Amino acid sequence: MDNLTKISLAISIIGIGAIAILSLAIQPEQTKISSIDNSYTGRIVSISGTIKSSYSSNGNAFLEIDGGGKIKAVMFENDAKNSPWVYEIRKGDNVSATGKIQIYKNEIEIIADSVKVLNVGNK
């Protein structure tokens, strides 16, 4: 191998390693629902709380989550179809949700790409 090939290979390996390390280090910001305001628009956050209401429509799941404040979480069909249990979430379940904060009809909501049930509430 010539020197240029060796240098290119070494830089590529270092770059791949750096990307792997950064991807592990970059986690969504764990945020209290009560602290979310318009300045969070576009940020990816992780929240947790108790389901106050849930329903689905056209494959989309809509959750109202209370965790020291209330926020609507929307999981669109494309993400929800990979997590079909999201349609089974009910009032009282404790969940965590990760997604991007958006404003819709002057209300703050989280467009969830992940929702996990932490424990099932009393039904």
pLDDT digits (tens, 9 = 90+) for 77-93: 988 888 888 898 999 99
Digit-coded pLDDT (tens) for 48-77: 999 999 999 999 999 999 988 999 999 999
Any domain includes 104: yes
Q: What's the angle, vertex CA 45, arms to CA 65 and CA 86, rounded to 5?
A: 45
Flag whether pLDDT at 29 surpasses 80.
no
Residue 55's pLDDT is: 93
Sorting pLDDT into bands at 50, 70 and 90, what band is 3? confident
Q: Provide the domain count of the chain.
A: 1
Any domain includes 8: no
Residue 19's pLDDT is: 84
Any domain includes 24: no
CATH number of the domain encompassing residue 90: 2.40.50.140
Range of the domain at 105: 29-119
Any domain includes 60: yes
Any domain includes 106: yes
* Model pTM score: 0.74
Any domain includes 73: yes
Any domain includes 107: yes
Cβ proximity of 45 and 59 under 8 Å:
no
